[in-house]
Chain A
Amino acid sequence: MLLLLQYTLIFSSVLTLVALGGCYSEHSGVINLGLEGIMVIGALGGALVMRFLPTGTPGILVVLLTIAGAVVFGVAYSALLAVACINFKADQTIVGTALNILGTALATVLVKAINMKLSGGDDVSSTIQYVNAKQSFIAYLGSFQFNWFMVIAIIALVIAYVVLYKTKFGLRMMACGEHPQAAASVGINVYKMRWSGVLISGIFGSLGGICYILAGVSEWKFENGVAGFGFLALAVMIFGQWKPTRIALAALLFGLFRALSNVYIGIDFLAALNIPSTVYNMFPYIISLVVLAFTSKNSKAPKAEGIPYDPGQR
């Protein structure tokens, strides 16, 4: 049971981080379907840092540098979405989808190239290992494996709540997602606000990405991307009705179902049911379909999301 709690918390942290990222972007008026790709690229940035840091580096430095690496990659990558969707008024669905496919392809090509170069051609896999570096993120409380990302997710949640509801910046940003022309009429720079929204979603998306590849495993095969987790986070965001606190609760629910597929063997009554493991793998996706079916009807989505900003349209 402790193991279930541990996995639930770590997967919920991933979902909270990524869904909050999506939340910023959508509140500013840009649908960020590219979160999945941002997660992959963020994870790549962090994994590369962990791979190349010399083995005697102090733990705190490993954590900070890994996070910095992930964030730099993720933010740079989310700028691709911002420039296309905000400045060139591209279709946000197409660009987001492109970024998802591109993220996995780019990460695979780069990791394979690095592995080939370092091994002199013997290693052609797309896997990065970070067994030692991973220990810096983990503390043991008895047999409970505590991950610092659980704290980071909570901090991110508090920050999101404060920024969105209590600061001038957050309220202005949300105005751009509801009615950008009205926001512009009172002197708010819509382009700047939307850029901020997308770049912030890059920060949180990449944090979620690096957290995901640190959850439970100590190597990552980049060919597999992040297995639809970015989209699960979007489902969490919709279920959470674009509100940070509700998003965190939704993330706990989804995290629980995702965790089940990792640990169901250890839970007696679930193991006794003898359900094939693939069913547990499908669980989070099925649950999210069901949940979305019941919660999308009265959606509290930002009104102007998905519509390119056109200053001439009042």
Chain B
Amino acid sequence: MSKPKEKKSLFQNDGFQALLASLICIVLGMLIGFIVLLFINPSGAGAAIGAVIKNFLNYSRASLQIKNFGNTLVKMAPLLMCSLSVLFCYKVGLFNIGVAGQYVVGACISIYAALAWGLPWWLCLILAIIVGALDGAIVGLLKAYCNVNEVISGIMLNWIGLYTTNMILTTVKESTSPYTLDLRLYAPKSVLPNIGFSKLFSGNEYMSIAIPLAIIIAIAIKIILDKTKFGYELKATGFNKNAAKYAGMAEKQNIIITLAIGGALAACGGAFLYLTDYELWECTSSSVPGMGFNGIAAAFLGGLNPVGTIFASYFIQHITSGGAYVDKSLYSSQISDLISALIIYLCGFVGFMKLAMKKYSAAKAAKSGQIENVNAEPEPAVSKEEDPPTNSEAKPEEGGNE
């Protein structure tokens, strides 16, 4: 997302287009959310949307602000992992909606390994990654060998994962409540180390290495996708499965590996949250946690760029946490879920927005081209739109068009 220097080429820059499209999605999503609030109760709507946007700034004391900023970051790490999972699979033409279930099984195995077996945190993390990869690989196997739509098998596995998790974690729950035992009390070895972060955030004990790790993983994903042969092969498989096969790539294997990596990333996210002890698993959960679905929002809002996703994850988590501060006597905190859902919906229009920006810039360039010498001619700008790997246009191509 480099900022272009010349004003003229702004609308032709891919990064700028993606950024602008994301900003439009955010603003429109917020606006529609605001209208819903107005519809519910006009008098408090402004304050409520303000509370969502302010999040931790709702506190007046600086130390509390920093502490709650830390809490947002603690939950951003798993969200970032989930959105990386979605992004990674989407780059290979696979829509990994199973991310929500993979996040759940990651949480499940890491909590269970900690409480039942007393394993150290890094072993819990590795176990989560393995189990998540297996979960993803099931989707991959079904897709590659049985042609099962990955969205449907993913959803089915979400529910299977949720029920299994409830069943397994019931064995390590508190006897009087539906929640699992407190890791800090019963398995202190399994809590993620915080290497001094908690001091920086006014003693927020949940700050852990999960946050820097998640960001490092995001950058690693960027490098893998853009700079390695492995990433190139995966992306080629996504563009055209048959062409990849023709070029000698193991396209079935690539699909399975991709979804396994996606599953591992999401499961790692689950471990990142529950091994900090920030939240306890509720063994009577009757719906799949929203973390995975928010990951979808963050992935698309970040323009399907791992670095953009870091910021998008922060934003989504910021408003999700901010939802807790709305006036509960007038509105419910789910207003932030509503806004992130709206943002995903609007992200469907990104392809259209980019096309409109290209047309606009081409028209502008054509106009000013007669007066001064413009470095980019309108023609290539228009023809460019047919080959960019940017998703909403590229994806249908591989659906077997005749």
Interface residues of A (CB under 8 A from B): 33, 80, 84-85, 88-91, 93-95, 97-99, 101-102, 104-106, 108-110, 112-113, 116-117, 121, 124, 126, 179, 223-225, 227-228, 231, 234-235, 238, 276, 278-279, 281-282, 285-286, 288-289, 292-294, 296-297, 299, 303-304, 306-308, 313
Contacts and interface: CB of A to CB of B under 8 A. Distances in A.
A109 B293 contact: no
B399 interface: yes
B40 A99 contact: no
B297 to A, nearest CB: 8
Contact of B344 (A101, A225, A293, A308): A101
B158 interface: yes
B396 A297 contact: no
A99 B36 CA distance: 16
B331 A113 contact: yes
B395 interface: yes
Given A105-B341, A228-B158, A303-B402, A297 B146 contact: yes
Contact of B337 (A88, A101, A278): A101
Given A80-B345, A88-B348, A292-B149, 17 more contacts: A95-B345, A95-B348, A97-B95, A97-B151, A99-B345, A101-B341, A102-B342, A104-B337, A105-B341, A106-B338, A112-B331, A223-B334, A276-B167, A279-B167, A285-B159, A289-B153, A292-B142
B36 to A, nearest CB: 7
Interface string B310-341: 00000000000000000011111011011011
A102 B97 CA distance: 15
A292 B148 contact: yes
B177 interface: no
A102 B41 CA distance: 20
Interface residues of B, number: 58
Contacts of B290: 101
B337 to A, nearest CB: 4
Given A124-B332, A308-B396, A109 B348 contact: no
B345 A98 contact: yes
A294 B395 CA distance: 26
B152 A91 contact: no
A159 B95 CA distance: 34
Interface string B357-369: 0000000000000
B166 interface: yes
19 contacts: A84-B348, A84-B349, A88-B349, A89-B351, A90-B351, A91-B391, A93-B95, A101-B296, A102-B341, A105-B334, A108-B337, A110-B40, A124-B328, A278-B166, A282-B159, A292-B153, A296-B146, A297-B147, A303-B400
Task: Tell me if A's interface is mostly helix, strand, loop or mixed.
Answer: helix
Contacts of A235: 152, 156
B187 interface: no
B130 interface: no
B169 to A, nearest CB: 11
Contact of A90 (B142, B149, B166, B352): B352
A97 B40 contact: no
A90 B338 contact: no
A103 to B, nearest CB: 8
A123 B311 CA distance: 37
B163 interface: yes
A94 B341 contact: no
A100 to B, nearest CB: 8
A231 B163 contact: no
B396 A306 contact: yes
Contacts of A126: 332
A189 to B, nearest CB: 21
B287 interface: yes
Given A278-B166, A292-B153, A98 B352 contact: no
B286 interface: yes
Contacts of A121: 329
A91 B97 CA distance: 14
Contacts of B340: 101
B43 interface: no
Contacts of B158: 228
Contact of A292 (B146, B337, B349): B146
B160 interface: yes
A102 B157 CA distance: 21
4 nearest interchain CB pairs? A90-B348, A102-B341, A98-B345, A98-B344
Given A33-B151, A89-B351, A297-B146, A108 B332 contact: yes
Nearest to B158: A228
Nearest to A222: B334
B148 A109 contact: no
B121 interface: no
B163 A293 contact: no
A94 B347 contact: yes
Given A95-B345, A293-B148, A109 B155 contact: no
B401 interface: yes
Nearest to A114: B40
B253 interface: no
Nearest to A228: B159
B286 A289 contact: no
B166 A223 contact: no
B221 to A, nearest CB: 20
B167 A109 contact: no
Interface in B253-273: none
B156 A231 contact: yes
B152 A238 contact: yes
